[in-house]
Amino acid sequence: MQKIMKPMSGYLALLLAVILFIASIYFFAGSRDNGTFVLLGVFSFIASVFLSLGIIVISPNHSRVMTFFGKYVGTVKENGLQFVNPLYKKQMISLRAENLESSKLKVNDKMGNPIEIAAVIVWQVDDTYKAAFEVADYVHYVKIQSEAAIRHLATTYAYDHMEDEHAAITLRDGGNKVNEMLEQELNERLAAAGILVREARISHLAYAAEIAGAMLQRQQATAIVAARTKIVEGAVGMVEMALEQLSRKKIVTLDEEKKAAMVSNLMVVLCGERGAQPILNTGTLYQ
């Protein structure tokens, strides 16, 4: 469990170390045949070096994890020049937010289609004890577990609704919901290493190259069918409205055969891909 240490100010320790170092030079210089001065010089020099070993500099958003002969003592997060027990072993751990951009992973979605997926993850160390002692290398741990979480997300949901019409959430249309689920799974996986995920977003999502062409044709065909359906619905409404107004205003009386011919002509004009070419009839209606 993480414990926060309150270290001593390092400025006093630095001043004492400098004074002792100067004193050692003075004693060595004036020792000559005086054994006492030699002992004082040696003691002053050793004390100066010993104090220097306990002086540490901690920059903003950095920390030091302290251990004493293998036992965890605590974590120092206070910035500036600090002094701790010189016998402590000090491990530096950054508390800054880090970006991880995963490589493009090729996986199969829920329906078995090969897709390419990648994500951008913002993470930082939240518990220095776990980061230092629960895993061998927390940076490598973040990378491996992030790829595992992305793969699991891709295999849990279909790429889009074309593959699974009844799916409530798909990778392409899920948007923020998919990102939230990825972030939640990452936090669960990385909690063992004391890592907090600030944000996770899908940065790349596409069908794999071997099926991309076929899926594009399928999407185009679906779009064409949808457009044609809309055109036909509109044309039928317009024909119905035309026949109704002709009948109501008694502009012309049409029997069933004439109505069928008129409907046929209007549907061709309204549903055709090109504009209709007018043909003038200079004879009777039946010629």
Instruction: Give the strand pairing for 195-207 and 71-76.
Output: unpaired
- Of 60-74, 218-232, 255-269, highest mean pLDDT: 60-74
Please choose, from the candidates 279, 109, 101, 88, the residue with its C-alpha nearest in 3D space to the C-alpha of residue 204.
101
Q: Which two tokens stand for residue 189?
A: 């996986």
- 29 — pLDDT class (breaks 50, 70, 90): confident
Please choose, from the candidates 129, 137, 124, the residue with its C-alpha nearest in 3D space to the C-alpha of residue 200.
124
CB contact set of 135 (below 8 Å; sequence gap of 6+): 141, 192, 193
pLDDT in tens, 245-256: 767 776 666 667
Strand order through the sheet with 55-58: 8-9, 80-83, 55-58
Average pLDDT along the chain: 84
pTM recorded for the entire structure: 0.71
- 175 — pLDDT class (breaks 50, 70, 90): confident
Q: Residue 159 — left, alpha, or beta (φ > 0 → left; ψ -120 to 50 → alpha)?
A: alpha
pLDDT of residue 39: 87
pLDDT in tens, 40-55: 888 999 999 999 999 9
Tell me the HSE value of 91 on the side-chain side, using a 13 A CA sphere: 18
pLDDT of residue 15: 94
pLDDT of residue 248: 74
Q: Give the three-state DSSP class for 206.
A: strand
Domain boundaries, the chain: 8-94, 98-207, 212-271
pLDDT of residue 208: 81
pLDDT in tens, 85-129: 999 999 999 999 999 999 899 998 888 888 899 999 999 999 999
Q: Give me the architecture of the 98-207 domain, per CATH.
A: 2-Layer Sandwich (3.30)
Considering just the CA atoms, what is the radius of gyration of the chain in Å?
39
Bigger pLDDT: 244 or 273? 244
Tell me the HSE value of 137 on the side-chain side, using a 13 A CA sphere: 4
